[in-house]
């Protein structure tokens, strides 16, 4: 049994937002939504949980702080102690005020760079990856809602989507998709 995927195209973000709420109320499964720009409130309307990227940013910052601390202790205290400006090199804590800017910069550096890598990995955006955009108009002025019918009545779902404000609907076999 081949299941169908419905691509419903909308031309207005407010209409799309209302349509997402209506589709979820009818218990149809929304696979993906393609938009030319971020639509405020769309993730809540789709029922997507809040992101945990902020927790990762904090942990990456802690890693950067630890690397900065270990690096400065090894370089400036243990391996090559120098008398710079009359400051003693006897312990890390005596020189801590001079190390604060370096600790801050490496904390930000690690958090920023590791967050970019995490975002690309989470979004599956690899180098040279082919675009997965089903309709090129979604990069300009259209919004596409991809709905998996799961064996539901396709004609009823199509009529319902036209009633929500869809301007165009395409039926696609899941195997061909």
* 152 plus 116 within the same structural domain: no
* 58 plus 116 within the same structural domain: yes
* 42 plus 71 within the same structural domain: no
Take residue 162 and report the two structure tokens written for it: 């036209």
Query: How many alpha carbons fall within 13 Å on the CB side of residue 63?
Result: 13
* 109 plus 141 within the same structural domain: no
Q: Which of 103, 122, 141 is the last residue of a domain?
A: 122
* 67 plus 116 within the same structural domain: yes
Examine the pLDDT at 2 and tell me if it is beyond 80: no
Averaged pLDDT, 139-165: 89
* 118 plus 138 within the same structural domain: no
**What DSSP assignment string belongs to 111-135?**
HHHHHHHHHHHHTT--TTPPP--S-
Tokens 């404000």 correspond to 165
Q: Give me the helix-helix angle, 13-25 and 154-163, nearest 10°.
A: 140
As a whole number, the mean pLDDT across the chain is 89
pLDDT digits (tens, 9 = 90+) for 16-72: 999 999 999 998 899 999 999 999 999 999 988 888 888 999 999 999 999 999 999
Task: Output the pTM of the full model.
Answer: 0.69
Q: Which domain holds residue 22?
A: 4-49+132-173
What is residue 63's predicted lDDT score, i.e. its pLDDT? 98
**Count of structural domains, the chain:** 2
Residue 127 within any structural domain of the chain: no
């Amino acid at each position: 049994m081949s299941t169908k995927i419905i691509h419903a195209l909308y031309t207005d973000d407010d209409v799309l937002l209302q349509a997402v709420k209506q589709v979820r109320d009818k218990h149809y499964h929304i696979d993906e939504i393609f938009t030319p720009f971020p639509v405020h409130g769309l993730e809540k309307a789709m029922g997507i949980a809040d992101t945990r990227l902020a927790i990762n940013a904090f942990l990456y910052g802690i890693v950067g702080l630890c690397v900065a601390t270990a690096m400065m202790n090894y370089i400036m205290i243990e391996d090559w102690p120098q008398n710079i400006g009359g400051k003693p090199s006897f312990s890390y804590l005596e020189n801590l005020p001079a190390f604060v800017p370096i600790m801050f910069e490496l904390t930000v550096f690690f958090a920023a760079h590791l967050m970019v890598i995490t975002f690309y990995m989470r979004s599956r955006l690899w180098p040279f990856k082919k675009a997965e955009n089903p309709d090129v108009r979604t990069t300009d002025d259209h919004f596409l809602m991809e709905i998996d019918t799961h064996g539901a009545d396709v004609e009823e779902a199509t009529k319902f989507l036209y009633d929500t404000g869809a301007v165009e609907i395409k039926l696609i076999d899941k195997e061909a998709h």
